[in-house]
């Protein structure tokens, strides 16, 4: 019966995920909201299919742990050292300012100092799992606001250590023994961290090497999970955050030659357990507490997010980030976080907070998590639309017409412009990034601000009379959109296009663009030639090999274009092409040896 109960629970979880996640992603709200709503429906406050939320929440926390471990694998210790300023500067300011503001507000509402401190600190922390999942879904982890958000979240994980240490002091006075007990966890935590670092340096690699030499992939996966789970439990036992422990383990192994193998082994577990975590958070929403006064809970959640968003936006502007980056940062991590559940739980156990008040705050925090993707959607659809409309109204008036139009004035377009400029060939440069326009104008370039995909702007730039249209825009979607407009309305205008990769080339070829050059192909090929020269090849040989490689790659590209819609044929064609190139160079080598021997 117990086995059947476990299987039924598993079926309920999978059904909730399979139904709710695709539905809410189709609605544009993202997978996180889908998990939350699905968890709320199947939880004890919904239709009651699952009741043991506490156990499931503890199990699902391993999804967050694996997420932090994989992020740690991407951060080598040297890079983490570089991040120390945004982590402790930006992160520290966010926690301190937000906590002080919340403390003031809660004190005005009549809470005691101890209660106000516990609640204000707990709600100043954001959700690492939610924020990183949303950033990952939007491919924004490596953007300016993504890096800032990560730095703040990392500091918050670190801040949990001293927070948990000072909580006992807010309860009943414990005298001198209490002070000793308060300092001892910090000393133990520091000792544990140093021990983990040393073990990672001197024991982990030999252990991985030993297991890898066995050739058993399953044992390697088991070792990967053992290290993550073991580190997390060790940190938990000494009073640290399990997520912080797994992150530290990832950073230590980031320099390891087994990093990529670890990533591929743990990624599937991370995805499943992280989804379970979001479901469990949805199940933990106390709808009974919410339904007592739903308007109050919603207002509190919106108030929490508004205050945090204002602080984050302010910090973004103070640290000289752009308005857009600051706004994105404010939206991304303005919610409460999972650490609030832990801190509030400890507050209740120490008799600092009554259970009813803690449940109310937990409901507010959970609701703020659910509102985060919705707030991001509102920002994308409404705020960005407003900014775009404002930008459209501010397009420059073009008062000249030249033989050449350059769309995109970044590093690529500027090189072409400099060549034309020194030969006194007139050109009209269009750029949609206002910052780029301002920088270019400082260097004396005459450049116009505007969206080159707009027909009206192209006409005012003289596209009907121009000879050449240089498409130097980096963004693939925007580049293709501009090419479509030009080919449709100015079919006699010759396009010379820049492409970021093969996929970009294929899209431009489909539109009839014939002159296309890939961003990094020429420079990479030149560097490959330099590499051969330093390895002892003669200059004439290098020139011949580079020329042959270029010609073969251009032919391969055309062949790949013909079979691009059939993945199997595309892969087979690419493999055959590599073998043909190897055979051609091998024939050259044998011919050279034959001439030398004779």
In a 10 Å sphere around its CB, with 0-12 CB exposed, 13-18 middle and 19+ buried, how is residue 31 labelled?
buried
Query: pLDDT tens across 509-528, in order?
Result: 888 898 888 888 888 888 88
User: Could you give all domains of the chain from N- to C-terminal order, each with its CATH number?
Assistant: 1-172+187-384 (1.20.1530.20), 404-589 (3.40.50.720)
pLDDT band for position 308 (50/70/90)? very high
| pLDDT the model gives residue 177 | 41
Query: What global pTM score does this model have?
Result: 0.54
DSSP-derived secondary structure for 197-252: HHHIIIIIHHHHHHHHHTT-HHHHHHHHHHHHHHHHHHHHHTT--HHHHHHHHHHH
Which of these, 488, 468, 480, 557, lies nearest to 521 by C-alpha position?
Answer: 557
The answer to whether the CB of 20 falls within 8 A of the CB of 38 is: yes
- Under 8 Å between Cβ of 102 and 124: yes
Most confident of 134-148, 380-394, 469-483: 469-483
Q: From CA 135, how far away is CA 140, in angstroms rounded? A: 5
State the average pLDDT over residues 352-360: 83
47-51, 171-175, 394-398, 520-524, range with the lowest pLDDT? 171-175
Share of the chain above pLDDT 90, in %: 8
The larger pLDDT score, comparing residue 20 to residue 496, is at: 496
Chain segment 101-157, per-residue pLDDT in tens: 999 999 998 888 888 898 999 899 888 777 877 777 676 766 778 888 888 887 887
Q: What is the mean pLDDT of the chain?
A: 78
pLDDT recorded at residue 471: 92
What value does the mean pLDDT take over residues 295-309?
90
3-state class (DSSP) for residue 487: helix
What phi and psi, each to the nearest 5 degrees, are found at residue 29? -95, -5
Between residues 49 and 56, which one has the greater pLDDT?
49
pLDDT category at 483 given cuts 50, 70, 90 is very high
DSSP single-letter state for residue 432: S
* The predicted structure's pLDDT at residue 11: 82
- CA dihedral sign, ordered 31, 33, 36, 42: negative
pLDDT of res. 595: 64
Radius of gyration, CA atoms only, the chain: 29
In whole angstroms, give the CA distance from residue 376 to residue 369: 12
Whether the Cβ atoms of residue 258 and residue 208 lie closer than 8 Å to each other: yes
Residue 391 has pLDDT above 60, yes or no: no
Structure confidence at residue 96 (pLDDT): 92
Cα–chain-centroid distance for residue 373?
A: 14
User: What's the whole-number mean pLDDT along residues 30-35?
Assistant: 71
Q: Taking the CB of residue 417, how many other CB atoms lie within 10 A of it? A: 22
pLDDT in tens, 198-228: 777 777 777 777 777 776 777 777 777 787 7
Q: Cα(363)–Cα(285) distance, rounded to whole angstroms?
A: 6
> In whole angstroms, what is the distance from residue 418 CA to residue 414 CA?
6
Q: How far apart are CA 280 and CA 233, in angstroms?
A: 20
Note the helical H segments in 319-426: 323-332, 339-349, 355-378, 384-393, 411-422
Mean pLDDT to the nearest integer, 250-268:
70
172: confidence class by pLDDT, cuts 50, 70, 90: low
The CA-to-CA distance between both ends of the chain, in Å, stands at: 84
């Amino acid at each position: 019966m117990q086995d059947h109960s476990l299987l039924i629970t598993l079926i309920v979880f999978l059904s909730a995920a399979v139904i709710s996640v695709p539905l809410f992603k189709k609605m544009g709200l993202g997978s996180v909201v889908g998990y939350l709503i699905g968890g709320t429906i199947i939880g004890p406050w919904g239709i009651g299919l699952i009741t043991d939320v506490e156990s499931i929440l503890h199990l699902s926390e391993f999804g967050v742990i694996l997420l932090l471990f994989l992020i740690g694998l991407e951060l080598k210790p040297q890079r983490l050292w570089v991040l120390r300023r945004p982590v402790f500067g930006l992160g520290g300011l966010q926690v301190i300012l937000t906590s002080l503001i919340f403390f003031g507000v809660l004190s005005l509402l009549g809470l005691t100092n101890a209660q106000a401190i516990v609640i204000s600190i707990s709600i100043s922390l954001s959700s690492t799992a939610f924020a990183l999942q949303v950033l990952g879904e939007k491919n924004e982890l490596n953007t300016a606001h993504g890096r800032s958000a990560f730095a703040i979240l990392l500091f918050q994980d670190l801040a949990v250590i001293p927070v948990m240490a000072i909580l006992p002091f807010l309860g009943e006075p414990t005298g001198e023994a209490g002070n000793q007990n308060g300092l001892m966890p910090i000393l133990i935590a520091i000792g544990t961290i140093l021990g983990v670092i040393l073990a990672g340096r001197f024991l982990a690699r030999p252990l991985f090497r030993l297991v890898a030499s066995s050739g058993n992939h399953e044992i390697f996966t088991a070792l990967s999970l053992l290290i993550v789970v073991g580190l997390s439990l060790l940190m938990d036992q000494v009073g640290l955050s399990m997520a912080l422990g797994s992150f530290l383990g990832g950073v230590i192994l980031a320099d390891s030659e087994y990093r990529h193998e670890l990533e591929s082994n743990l990624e599937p577990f991370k995805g499943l357990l992280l989804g379970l975590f979001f479901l469990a958070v949805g199940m933990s929403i106390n709808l009974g507490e919410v339904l007592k006064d739903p308007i109050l809970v919603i207002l509190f959640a919106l108030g929490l997010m508004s205050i945090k968003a204002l602080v984050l936006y302010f910090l973004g502007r103070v640290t000289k980030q752009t308005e857009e980056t600051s706004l994105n940062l404010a939206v991304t991590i303005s919610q409460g976080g999972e650490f609030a559940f832990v801190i509030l739980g400890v507050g209740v156990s120490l008799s600092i907070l009554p259970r009813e008040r803690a449940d109310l705050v937990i409901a507010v925090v959970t609701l703020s998590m659910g509102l985060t993707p919705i707030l991001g959607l509102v920002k994308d659809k409404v705020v960005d639309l407003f900014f775009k409309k404002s930008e459209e109204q501010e397009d420059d008036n073009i008062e000249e017409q030249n033989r050449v139009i350059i769309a995109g004035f970044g590093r690529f377009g500027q090189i072409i412009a400099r060549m034309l400029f020194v030969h006194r060939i007139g050109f009209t440069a269009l750029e949609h990034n206002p910052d780029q326009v301002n920088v270019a104008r400082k260097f004396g370039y005459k450049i116009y601000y505007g969206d080159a995909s707009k027909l009206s702007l192209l006409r005012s730039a003289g596209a009907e009379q121009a000879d050449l249209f240089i498409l130097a825009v980096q963004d693939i979607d925007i580049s293709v959109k501009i090419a479509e407009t030009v080919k449709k309305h100015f079919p006699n205008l010759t396009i010379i296009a820049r492409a970021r990769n093969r996929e970009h080339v294929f899209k431009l070829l489909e539109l009839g663009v014939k002159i296309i050059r890939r961003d990094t192909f020429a420079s990479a090929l030149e560097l490959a030639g330099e590499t051969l020269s330093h390895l002892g090849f003669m200059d004439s040989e290098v020139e011949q090999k580079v020329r042959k490689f270029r010609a073969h790659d251009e032919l391969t590209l055309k062949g790949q274009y013909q079979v691009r819609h059939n993945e199997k044929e595309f892969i087979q064609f690419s493999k055959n092409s590599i073998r043909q190139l190897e055979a051609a160079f091998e024939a050259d080598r044998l011919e050279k040896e034959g001439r030398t021997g004779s």
